[in-house]
Homo-oligomer: A and B are copies of this chain.
């Protein structure tokens, strides 16, 4: 593998990203700055194919990059540049749209912005709620035997759930229960809320147990909601404008999209690029996923990224993903700080 071969590989990838057509030796010789004949390039391309970086759709077609080809290209030739100041300001504004104060809304904004900027499908898997604590529990009567449970976390996540009881509670009962669960839940970390904990709470209710246990059950259900990694999407419609996907692949994606919360599992930091069907997978074929992680304090709190065609402008997209995840890490840490000050 020499300098020229690398350059040829880069040229093939570049051209393929641009046109989507297999690239032939002749067009490369036109593109490359070093002047060698197409025959020389042909020889080099044959070697690159043997090395596994290129492949031919069929005998007399040009070459197309393989997974490893893309990888090498990205490693050697994509140097993500820092975004210019004005672009960063623009992105910051996008994150703040619609008075986004809570984690949920900030992430929603990030995903929406990313989808818009890249014209791809953007996705975020947020597990940050798990690391926060219950900051507020309220039980609000809303009608005949109807009660709303309200759970607010230190990260600004707000969840509610309606619950119907067998009997109406009198003021005393309601006050007792509210006080009871506030004492037991406020300040408790979401991660620590277990089924056993709620079972103990029910048991400790004593005489009130029968009447109040549905409320506890509702709270338990809310807490499992909070524990779940939430996966947020935007720009799913951009999948349709891609003509390298047939309907079946899109169905497959939509049906399995929630499995994308797995994208948190990998332990690497920094930008990661995954190709569809490269491993056993949850990504669509012919697609690549550019994703990075954000943290809350020292813990990984979630991932943010895009899913686009494999022939995508990596150099343009990577800085966006990087910037957004950095920013999210910052914003999440703000929250943490605020909790400490409380």
Q: Name the residue in A148, A162, A218 with the highest tally of chain B Cβ atoms < 10 Å from its Cβ.
A: A162
How far, in Å, is A101 (CB) from chain B's closest CB?
A: 5
Does any Cβ of B come within 8 Å of A280's Cβ?
no
Does any Cβ of B come within 8 Å of A237's Cβ?
yes
Whether A152 and B135, one on each chain, are in contact in the complex, defined by CB atoms closer than 8 angstroms, is no
Whether B158 and A338, one on each chain, are in contact in the complex, defined by CB atoms closer than 8 angstroms, is no
Q: Which residues of A145-163 are within 8 A (CB) of B?
A: 146, 148, 150, 152, 154, 156, 158, 160, 162-163
| Number of residues on chain A facing chain B (CB within 8 A) | 37
Q: Which residues of B contact A339 (CB under 8 A)?
A: 143
Whether A140 and B136, one on each chain, are in contact in the complex, defined by CB atoms closer than 8 angstroms, is yes
Q: A143-B338, A143-B339 are in contact. Are A101 and B163 (CB under 8 A)?
A: yes
How far, in Å, is A142 (CB) from chain B's closest CB?
A: 5
Q: Which residues of B contact A164 (CB under 8 A)?
A: 99, 101
Q: A102-B162, A142-B152, A240-B251 are in contact. List 16 more A-B contacts (CB 8 A).
A: A99-B164, A135-B142, A136-B140, A136-B142, A136-B148, A138-B140, A142-B158, A143-B338, A143-B342, A144-B341, A144-B342, A158-B160, A237-B251, A240-B247, A240-B248, A247-B247
A-B contact pairs, 15 of them (CB 8 A): A99-B164, A99-B218, A101-B164, A102-B162, A135-B142, A138-B138, A140-B150, A140-B152, A142-B152, A142-B156, A143-B154, A150-B150, A237-B254, A241-B251, A247-B247
